[in-house]
Amino acid sequence: MSASEQIIGFALQASASLYSLIDGTLDAPKEVTAVSREAKAFASVLTSLQGLLDKDRVREDAIVLLRGPLDNCVNTLTALSLKIQPHMKPTGYAKKSKWRGLTWYLKREETRELCNRLSQSNVTLNTAISIMNTCVPLQNHGIYPTLLY
């Protein structure tokens, strides 16, 4: 497994872990459902990136350059999981939890800020992928942007 595949796989795992933690939660506040949407959007961006790598459309070293934005997203996903996990209470039903919100109001703003940071990192990553997609047709015409080589 290449370094790029490991980076993307780890990021996908962090995203799926957070999404599955939140998915099916009863009475979750809107900040938590927003986190769930962002985790799902991040996984979608990663899947696009993985598709580029699988099709050999970009060199692996170009994807390694994305390690910073990917690490930022993974760190944010981890921080969000740590904020949300203590407020989850299993209900006894498969994949269902009940929201324990007694102390949630203390963590609400922090979670909102982390969700915004994840969203911004997601946009940065998506922009970089779009640039990579744009560079591929240029390569076909003999133009090799420095991003890829």
* Model confidence pLDDT, tens digit, residues 27-76: 778 888 899 999 999 999 888 888 877 776 666 666 667 888 888 888 99
3-state secondary structure of 1: coil
Say whether pLDDT at 128 is over 90.
no
| Distance, CA of 82 to CA of 68 (rounded, Å) | 21
Tell me if 70 sits within 8 A of 7, measured CB to CB: yes
Structure confidence by residue, pLDDT tens digits, 85-123:
887 776 655 455 666 665 666 678 888 899 999 999 888
Residue 49 neighbours by CB under 8 Å, 6+ apart: 8, 63, 66, 125, 129
Question: Residue ranges of the domains in the chain?
Answer: 3-140
Helix, strand, coil shares, percent, the chain, to 5: 70, 5, 20
Taking 90 as the threshold, does the pLDDT of residue 13 lie above it?
Answer: yes
| This prediction's pTM | 0.74
* Residue 61 CB neighbours (<10 A): 11
